[in-house]
Structure 1
Amino acid sequence: MAPGLATAEKAYESVDENSLYVRMGGYDVISNVIDDFLTKSWADPKIAHFFVGMGTDTRNQLRQKNKNLMCYTTGGPCRVINRPLEVVHVGLGVTDADFYVIVDHIMVSLKKFKVAEKERGELHAKLLSLKPKIVLTADVPLKAPKREGLDESAQLENALGISNFNIGRYSEALSHFETASKKDSSVGEYHFNEAMALDKLGKHELAAKHFGAAQANAQGNARITESKILKAQVSK
């Protein structure tokens, strides 16, 4: 949902009469809800900064794309194409608090347009299920604490790799991790992260090699020494 621009389009297909889409009132209700919730969001000082600089055309696009996304999410005749939510929202810095402000606005708009409590609850659950793809500032699978005494350019490459890894861009992540480990091959974490990316890409033999290098250069790093995936790969 907002503040990002999800890409979706309306596709006139058959709709399950028991779908949430139908029970909410169909596309007209969804259109009214999105218009109302976005109008409130643009005026809300807690989240208005996400929309600064948006002209009329961009705001109209945001309206339509969010209408189609809600239509799709509720089982309506729309389909989402391209640009996954996590790609749309990466770099925006949406926090838990921001997310819940947006959800609250949607809930108020649903009630305003007479969507029943049961259906509001169902949509609320669906919105919460999207949170990991929108709030990307929470705990993530990999972290990049800065360490004194290590090559700063290698640390930067490692951090860039982690940013890509955490949104599923494993090929891009691998490129950064490879550069980091080449700049400073003595840091086990760089090898470990490289191995994790290789494993995600299905290159398990290469992953095992780098898990071994990570183990050899662990230097007491518990994340490496206690890693179940490392132990499983190295023991093959």
Structure 2
Amino acid sequence: MASLYDRIGGGQAILMAVNVFYDKVSNHPVVGHYFYNLDIDKLARKQAAFLSIAFEGPLDDEVRGLREAHAGLGITDAEFEIVVGCLEETLVEIGVDEALRKEVLGIVESTRKDVVQRSDSGHMDSYES
């Protein structure tokens, strides 16, 4: 069976998805503040490289660990859900079929423990609206 990287369309499809995704999250009223004053092009390249690895594509030495990249940001479960929702919208928008979307979102869900900020008690914080 071909890798998820190949089934989703390779590097060009991943880069297109990442660009659409960052446009969505950087303009989102709840999570957009995480992206202010960041070099979105550089961030998108790193994200595309990370996704390539996660989807069993070519390796890129420039990718930092998720825990290190998100340390101290205070990302909550609710914010993580918003970002996942933006990613799912992106995948639908660019024409990724449901089975592949589920596979991608399963991989993303497996990163929650490295992205969501945990309180001193070891529990994940949640966003209160």
Q: TM-score range by the shorter chain?
A: 0.7 to 0.9
TM-score of the two chains, using structure 1 as the length reference: 0.49
Aligned to 2:32: 48
Cα distance in 1 for partners of 2:61, 2:28 equals 28
1:129 and 2:102 aligned: no
Aligned to 1:220: none
Cα distance in 2 for partners of 1:52, 1:82 equals 21
Amino acid in the other structure paired with 1:74: F
Aligned to 1:173: none
**Stretches (4+) displaced over 4 A:** none
Cα distance in 2 for partners of 1:101, 1:46 equals 8
String of CA shifts for 1:95-145, please: whole Å, max 9, x gaps: 00111111111111111111111111001100000000000225528xxxx
Cα distance in 1 for partners of 2:37, 2:42 equals 14
Cα distance in 1 for partners of 2:85, 2:61 equals 24
Cα distance in 1 for partners of 2:42, 2:58 equals 19
Q: Quick one: which of 23, 35, 56 aligns to 1:39?
A: 23
Deviation at 1:81, TM superposition (A): 4.9
**Higher RCO (CA 8 Å, separation ≥ 6 residues):** 2
Aligned to 1:71: 52
Residue correspondences, number: 122
Amino acid in the other structure paired with 1:132: K
Cα distance in 1 for partners of 2:7, 2:16 equals 15
> Per the alignment, in what secondary structure is the counterpart of residue 60 of structure 2?
strand
> Kindly tell me: are residues 110 and 80 of structure 1, through their superposed partners in 2, closer, same or farther at Cα, counting changes over 3 Å?
farther
Contact kept? 1:72, 1:80, Cα under 8 Å: no
Cα distance in 2 for partners of 1:122, 1:80 equals 24
String of CA shifts for 1:151-180, please: whole Å, max 9, x gaps: xxxxxxxxxxxxxxxxxxxxxxxxxxxxxx
Aligned to 2:12: 28
Deviation at 1:80, TM superposition (A): 5.0
Amino acid in the other structure paired with 1:36: V
Aligned to 2:40: 59
Aligned to 1:168: none
TM-score of the two chains, using structure 2 as the length reference: 0.87
1:83 and 2:64 aligned: yes
1:140 and 2:122 aligned: yes
1:116 and 2:97 aligned: yes
Cα distance in 1 for partners of 2:64, 2:10 equals 25
Q: Quick one: which of 73, 83, 92 aligns to 1:92?
A: 73
Amino acid in the other structure paired with 2:47: N
Structure 2 spans left out of the alignment, 5+ residues: 124-129
Cα distance in 2 for partners of 1:107, 1:82 equals 22
